[in-house]
Amino acid sequence: MSSAFQIGRIARIPIRLHITFLAIIPIVAYIFSTFTATTSVTLFGEVYDLAYGFNAIEPPEARWAYSFAFSILLFLCVALHELGHSFVAMRYGIKIRSITLYIFGGVASMEDIPRDPKMEARMAVAGPGVSGIIGLGCVLLSFQSALLLGGIHPITTLLWTLGVINIVLLVFNLLPAFPMDGGRILRAWFATRMPYVEATRRAAGIGKLFAILMAFLGIMGSPFLILIAFFVYIAATDEERATSIAVPLEGVKVKDIMSMDLRTVSPETGLPDLINLMFHEKHRGYPVMEGGRLAGIVTISDVQKVPEVKRSTTAVGEIMVKSIYVIEPNADAAEAMKKMAERQIRRLPVMEDGKLVGIVSRSDLLRAIEICSGW
């Protein structure tokens, strides 16, 4: 069962909510309903009385209504922030799979991150730029509503609070904590001076330092900051690892590394014969052919699921995996690695014109990475 569900589309981009998002809405509403901070701002000779937070709104039903409205609008702003990244990416021909809203913010799932530093910098700046525009617009509207409604008013408070938070998001996202937007800008700057993998490694190292600093500050009074620090650290580590894998494989095709000397089995093959084959040939998986077509794939993990007492009477066709993910020989090797990681599998049959022409395994890819990294 997926932990996120789709709620709609914007510009053909699926917008998804993670289940954690459902928890953060009432939490944010509660936090902003428990306090009010008033301030006076002078602009062009005019003095504006403004409030931040909704605790002063009466009756309680109205206070909670405005608090929930604010929390929903805030995460709508987060979605618009991610759409800013996405629209710039689409201008450069990058496909956006989806935008998912999590407890800590939004994430745009892209087919790839551009290697051009200028392109990546523009994409990274677009999100904070949207937050800045929204923030400034809400602040100006709050001034206007303060004049029209006679000072502090729930609508004015809502606009001012939303504006201030979006400006805070602008500043926060520009921190050089990779893979946040500021960290991506930093990587783009590094990438103009050194190889892309090294640029990623340096930006990720700085991002991890910021995550540790955020965690330390969170220990002193902000559990939410600890949560953000955790995600930043994990995301920086994952992207550093993914880049170190993808970059060496650039330009390498599946046909360059796949195994063409195929040994296949049939659905009628008994498990004792299959186990004997695996033992002598030292392969952990085999394509299953039936009537000249690929019917499935069987691996050592499928065999291990069968109790030993039943293995002598079990055939491959009873345990093989029929839902097969395949790849074409002209596909990028990096795409094969991505498919294996997403599907949690270790090998992909290679199909061309409906025929099985090879198989590419995780070992083949790791060997290619090792060789290409040494060039």
Catalytic residues: 82
DSSP calls for 304-373:
HTS-HHHHTT-BHHHH-B-S---B-TTSBHHHHHHHHHHHT-SEEEEEETTEEEEEEEHHHHHHHHHHHH
* Beta carbons of 94 and 112 less than 8 angstroms apart: yes
Question: In whole angstroms, what is the distance from residue 263 CA to residue 279 CA?
Answer: 14
Distance of CA 283 to the CA centre of its chain: 33
Report CA-CA distances (Å) from 233 to 124, 211, 320.
19, 6, 39
How far apart (Å, rounded) are the C-alpha atoms in residues 324 and 167?
48
Q: Distance between CA atoms of 274 and 296, rounded to whole angstroms? A: 14
Secondary element (H or E) of residue 330: none
| Buried b or exposed e, range 147-169, using 16+ CB within 10 angstroms | eeeeebbbebbbbbbbbbbbbeb
- In order, the DSSP letters of 246-260 are HTTTTT-BHHHH-B-
